[in-house]
Amino acid sequence: MKPYILILLRLSVFFTMILCNKRMDPRVTHPVRGHWSSSLPKQVANPIFYQSEDHSLFIGGEEILYHYNFEIMKNYTIGADPNICQGKPYCKNYVTFVGQLLEKLTVCGTNAYNPGCWAMAGEQFEKLSYPWAEQMAPLTPEINHNILIAGDQVYSTLSRKSNNGVSMMKTFFRKIHGKTPLLYTGDKFLRQPKFVKSIVVEKEDKIQDKILLFFSEDNIESRTLEKRLSMVAQLCKEDSGSTGVNTRYVFSTALKARMMCGNQLSGQYYPHLQDIYFLQGKTGNVIYGLFTNSWNHSAVCSYDIEDIENLFKSSSLWGSSKKDLGIRPGTCLPPPTKTPEQTSEEAINHPELTEWLWPLKNSTVMQNLYYYRKMVVDEITAANENIYRILVLATDDGNVHKVVELEDGVVNALEVIPFNLEGKLHFMELKSNTHVLYLGTTHEVARLPLDDCDAYNKSCTDCIQSGDPFCGWINGKCESVLNHNRSMIYQNLSENATCEHDSTILFLKGNGDASTNKELSTTPDSTIRNKGDPKMILKHDPIDGTLELKITKVMYPGEYKCTSKEKEAECLFSVTDTGTTIQCIWILVSTVLLLILM
C-alpha cells in the first residue's frame, strides 16, 4: 500500500469518528439563574472556598474573608503584616487557604511575600506562629500548589524560603508537620508538576494507608510524544524513610504511574487531567478522572482503587534492571521500620512504573464535546432500589450537567444554569449525605440540591423519561425520590417509558380547539433545548377527527405521545437524529470508495 493512501485512510477514519462522535447535549436545560445563588459583595479574582461542617461557606479573597450561611454574609479583614514590598505587584495578603487545621478554623495567605496563617478566635483572627506556616501559602496568589491535611499530619508542595533569597526551582511533596521523620520526595520525582488533587486512601490495616497525588508533569521519556503527562503517585502514609544515610529524609515508597484515559477501541485519548473525585460509596471505592484533549473536548474515566494498588504492586520500574531486592519498591513497612537502602535507591532512581494505569474496561465512562473543568460523583438509590451513579460536570462558567451512568452508556439528563453573572468557576463540592452541590465563581456562590425535579415538571412522561434517577412522578408532580416512599413514586428510567394516565399535551397546553390545518410557530420551550428554529405543525382532520402534531429540529430524540381530552384524539410521533446519521454514512461511503480505489 502506498504511504499517502494510508495517511488518507487514517484521516478519513479519523474524521468519521469525529463526526459520528455526537455532541451529547443535555436533554433538558433548566436556567434557574439567581434562584439558588447569591452574589459576593465584590468580585474576587482568585477566590478560595471552604465548606464548613455547619454547611456555611467561607470565601477568602484579597485581605478579606467572607462567611456566608446562605442568609447573612459576614466579613473579616485579614490584612498583611507591616512589610517592605511597597510598589511590588502582590504587596497585600491574598488568602490562598481556608480550612480546618489542627482543630482550628485557619486562614493562610501570601501576606505580602511573607506567607503566614491566622486562626479564628471568637470574632478575631490571630496570627499563628507555626514555623511551617510559610509552607502553607505561596508567595503570590496564582501559584499552583497542593496542601494535604490528614488529621494532624500536614503535607505541602511549597518550599521554605532559602536563606540566600534564591527561590527553589524544583518542587517537592513534603510532610511539613506531624509524626517525624518529615520526609520529602526525591530529586527525580516531580518534573514541573501541576497539581490537581491529593487524597488519603485508608485501609483496614493502617500500615497500608496510602497517599495518592494526581498531577501533570513534563514528559522526558521517549515512549510517547505528549509534552505533558497525567500522573498518579502513590506513597505509604506511614513511610519512615530509608536506611540510606543520604536518603534518610526521602520518601522511600513514592512511585508514580502514567494515567491513561480514552477508548482503546476507537483510539481516542484524552491526555490532560482536569479534576479527580474519589467516590467512596455503596457501589465501591472508585477514582473518577476528568480529562480533556487538545480540542478541549472532555472525557471521564474511572479507576478501581484496588486496581491502582495492584498496579503499584506488580509493575516493574521503568529503566530499572535490578530484580532481587528482597523488598519490592513501594512496599509499606510497619513504622519505625525503615526501607532497606537497596530498595529505596531503586525507587528514588526509577520512580516511574513501566506499566500505565488504564481505566476500567479500557474505555471512557463518557466523552463529550463540552469543555468541563470540575466534576463530582453522587450515588442515588432509585425507586427500583437500584443504585445509580450521577456524574456532575461543570463548565468553566459554572453551568452544571447531570450525567447518569447506566449499564450501557450515559444519559446527559440535565443542564442547570445557576449563576446570574458571568464569572469563572473556582469551586464545586458535593455534600453527599444531603445531595447538595455547592459552587463558587469569582462573582457568586450557589447551592444546588441535586434532587430538584422542577425541570421535568411538565408532564408525567417528561418526568419519567428524563432519565434522572433522583426524580419520579407522584400526585401529579415530578418530585424527589428522597422526599417520598420509594415504592409509592412512579419512576421508569427507560427512553420509551410511558405514563398510562398522562393527559398532558406536550407543547400544546390550551390548544385543544385546533380545528383547521395550521402551523404554529412557537417560542422555544425553555426546558427543551432546541437547536435552530423549532417548528411545530398541528394538523386536524375534520373528517376522521385526528390530530397530527409534528415538531422539527428538536435536539431530544425520542417518541412523544400526546392525547387531547376534548376530542379523544391521540397523536404519536417520533423524532430521530437523521442529520448526524447521514453525515456518518456519507463519510463511511467515501472511506470504502478509497479502499476500492487502492
Ligand X SMILES: *[C@@H]1O[C@H](CO)[C@@H](O)[C@H](O)[C@H]1NC(C)=O
**CB-nearer residue toward ligand X: 171 or 363:** 363
CB of 12 to ligand X, least distance (A): 22
**CB-nearer residue toward ligand X: 42 or 223:** 42
**CB-nearer residue toward ligand X: 41 or 476:** 41
Q: Which residues pair with 379 in a beta bridge?
A: 389
Q: Could you tell me the maximum CA-CA distance found in the chain, to the nearest angstrom? A: 98
CB of 196 to ligand X, least distance (A): 15
Q: How far is CA 185 from CA 182, 190, 250, 251, in A?
A: 10, 8, 5, 5
CB of 76 to ligand X, least distance (A): 8
Q: Contacting ligand X (CB under 6 A), which of 100, 314, 362, 384?
A: 362
Query: Any contact of residue 358 with ligand X (CB under 6 A)?
Result: yes
Q: Using CB atoms within 10 A of its CB, is residue 87 exposed (0-12), middle (13-18) or buried (19+)?
A: exposed
Query: Any contact of residue 267 with ligand X (CB under 6 A)?
Result: no
Query: Any contact of residue 295 with ligand X (CB under 6 A)?
Result: yes
Size of the site for ligand X (CB under 6 A): 9
- Half-sphere exposure of residue 11, counting CA atoms within 13 Å on the CB side? 8
**CB-nearer residue toward ligand X: 100 or 314:** 314
CB of 406 to ligand X, least distance (A): 20
Query: Any contact of residue 41 with ligand X (CB under 6 A)?
Result: yes
- Rounded Cα distance between 363 and 375, Å, is 18
CB of 296 to ligand X, least distance (A): 4
Query: Any contact of residue 42 with ligand X (CB under 6 A)?
Result: yes
**CB-nearer residue toward ligand X: 264 or 457:** 264
Query: Any contact of residue 550 with ligand X (CB under 6 A)?
Result: no
568: left (phi over 0), alpha (psi -120 to 50) or beta: left
Q: Residue 267 has which C-alpha cell?
A: 483510539
CB of 132 to ligand X, least distance (A): 30
- Rounded Cα distance between 156 and 174, Å, is 6
Residue 30 CB partners (closer than 8 Å, separation 6+):
414, 415, 416, 417, 454, 455, 527
CB of 484 to ligand X, least distance (A): 40
- Rounded Cα distance between 428 and 436, Å, is 11
**CB-nearer residue toward ligand X: 124 or 167:** 124
- The site map against ligand X for 236-265 (x = CB under 6 A) is ----------------------------x-
Q: What does the buried/exposed string (b/e) look like for 287-309 if buried means 16 or more CB atoms within 10 Å of the residue's CB?
A: bbbbbbbeeebbbbbbbebebbb
CB of 397 to ligand X, least distance (A): 11
CB of 371 to ligand X, least distance (A): 6
- The site map against ligand X for 471-510 (x = CB under 6 A) is ----------------------------------------
Please give the order of strands across the beta sheet that includes 444-449: 37-39, 444-449, 436-441, 425-431
- Rounded Cα distance between 184 and 423, Å, is 37
**CB-nearer residue toward ligand X: 196 or 460:** 196
Query: Any contact of residue 310 with ligand X (CB under 6 A)?
Result: no
CB of 226 to ligand X, least distance (A): 16
Closest CA to 273 of 196, 339, 350, 355: 196
Cell 483496614 appears where? 204
**CB-nearer residue toward ligand X: 64 or 437:** 64
**CB-nearer residue toward ligand X: 23 or 42:** 42
**CB-nearer residue toward ligand X: 155 or 358:** 358
**CB-nearer residue toward ligand X: 357 or 430:** 357
In degrees and rounded to multiples of 5, residue 450 shows phi and psi of -70, -15
Closest CA to 208 of 348, 318, 101, 306: 306
DSSP for 197-229, written as a single string = EEEEE--SSGGG-EEEEEEEEE---SS---SEE
Residues 391-450 close enough to bind ligand X by CB under 6 A:
none
Q: What does the buried/exposed string (b/e) look like for 435-463 if buried means 16 or more CB atoms within 10 Å of the residue's CB?
A: bbbbbbbbbbbbbbebbbbebbebbbbbb
DSSP state of 133: G
CB of 294 to ligand X, least distance (A): 6
Give 559-564 contacts, CB < 8 A, sequence gap 24+.
Answer: 559/496, 560/461, 560/506, 561/461, 561/498, 561/502, 562/504, 562/505, 562/506, 562/508, 563/502, 563/503, 563/505, 564/505, 564/508, 564/512
CB of 308 to ligand X, least distance (A): 14
Q: Judge whether 271 and 228 are in contact, CB under 8 Å.
A: yes
In degrees and rounded to multiples of 5, residue 136 shows phi and psi of -95, -15
- Rounded Cα distance between 548 and 510, Å, is 16
**CB-nearer residue toward ligand X: 64 or 446:** 64
**CB-nearer residue toward ligand X: 61 or 99:** 61
**CB-nearer residue toward ligand X: 94 or 189:** 94
**CB-nearer residue toward ligand X: 264 or 266:** 264
CB of 292 to ligand X, least distance (A): 8
Q: Which residues pair with 151 in a beta bridge?
A: none
CB of 227 to ligand X, least distance (A): 15
Q: Residue 415 has which C-alpha cell?
A: 443542564
Residues 151-190 close enough to bind ligand X by CB under 6 A:
none
Query: Any contact of residue 223 with ligand X (CB under 6 A)?
Result: no
Distance from first CA to last CA of the chain, Å, rounded? 8
- Rounded Cα distance between 567 and 546, Å, is 8
Residues 75-94 close enough to bind ligand X by CB under 6 A:
75
Q: Contacting ligand X (CB under 6 A), which of 296, 310, 494, 581?
A: 296
CB of 264 to ligand X, least distance (A): 6
Binding site for ligand X (CB under 6 A): 41-42, 64, 75, 264, 295-296, 358, 362
